[in-house]
Amino acid sequence: MSVLVNKNSKIIVQGFTGTEGTFHATQMIEYGTNVVGGVTPGKGGSKHLDRPVFNTVQQAVESTGADVSIIFVPPAFAADAIMESAEAGIKVIVCITEGIPTRDMITAKEYIKGRNCRLIGPNCPGVITAGEAKVGIMPGFVFKKGKIGIVSKSGTLTYEAADQVVKAGLGITTAIGIGGDPIIGTSTKEAVELLMNDPETEGIVMIGEIGGTMEADAAYWIKQNGTKPVVGFIAGKTAPAGRTMGHAGAIVGGADDTADAKMKILRECGIHVVESPAVIGKTMAAALKKVTA
């Protein structure tokens, strides 16, 4: 079993023929991802990267049976692209685009409610099921197949965590980059739940940052429902209050938003908190040994 995407997923690329879409679709195809086509309005009927191009997502779905979409569309049009995918029946929508206006995302998130789909992102690195499907912009060579799932707000820290886990001899099942914007489709808690329910995943790495309550919400859920060891890291320990640090959602608005406050909550909920990403792999290996001892 895999989480969100696998070797059988049929992926289309929105913004297929653009510079970013072309570059990352090429990388996805080289990884072995089942990219079945793409969407660029006005270029329907042509071919790109030896795959068909469609004018609309609906046409792509009807022709290819696509069930996953990845979006490389400029910020002004990205929310419309999300809603178009949801309307066409896409089950997993991965939006890479950064800088989508918050108001647009509020509209898009409300629109997809009640539809049978899941949005990952925006402003995220995507999702990768190691050895099967890369639906995103992450460096695929880092992710070797194994038994640890990753949930992260940060793209760079996702790659670092994966590297540390692989070097510890554990490998990755699925890594989910949920994105760091104020309005995103899938929360930390929801992503953790997916991995907690995946029989192939034996441990979870949860990477958060300052701002918001998503890490705390996930920690409380883990305390009540968790069945697997979780290693946690919170970025932004030295961030000053009131200043956005990196991601639009990474801003300390109150005492509970700081890295120290979140780390305290995580520890109280039984999560193995690390002070540095460099020890994520070693900490997870030790936590798994305790479980099997």
Which residues of the chain carry a pLDDT beneath 50? Answer: 245-247, 249-253
Which residues lie below 8 Å from residue 235, measured CB to CB, with a gap of 6+? 153, 154, 157, 207, 208, 209, 210, 250, 259
Q: Please write the tens of the pLDDT for every residue from 139-189.
A: 999 999 999 999 999 899 999 999 999 999 999 999 999 998 999 999 999
Which pLDDT score, from 0 to 100, does residue 250 have? 45
Q: Which amino acid makes up residue 34?
A: N
Cβ contact 182:249 at 8 Å: yes
The one-character DSSP state at 27 is H
From 127, 136, 152, select the one nearest 235 (Cα to Cα).
Answer: 152
Which residue shows structure tokens 């970025």? 235
Which pLDDT score, from 0 to 100, does residue 241 have? 55
Residues annotated as catalytic are: 247
Residue 293 buriedness (CB in 10 A; 0-12 / 13-18 / 19+): exposed
Which residues make beta-bridge pairs with 230? 204
Cβ of 241: how many Cβ atoms within 10 Å? 12
Which pLDDT score, from 0 to 100, does residue 249 have? 47
Could you tell me the pTM of the whole model?
A: 0.93
**C-alpha to C-alpha distance for 254 and 269, rounded to whole angstroms:** 21
Which pLDDT score, from 0 to 100, does residue 211 have? 83
Which pLDDT score, from 0 to 100, does residue 84 have? 98
Which pLDDT score, from 0 to 100, does residue 1 have? 55
For residues 205, 211, 214, 215, the Cα torsion angle rounded to the nearest 10 degrees is: 40
**Longest CA span, the chain:** 60
Q: What domains are there in the chain, each with its CATH number?
A: 11-120 (3.40.50.720), 138-292 (3.40.50.261)
Quote the radius of gyration of the chain (alpha carbons, Å).
19
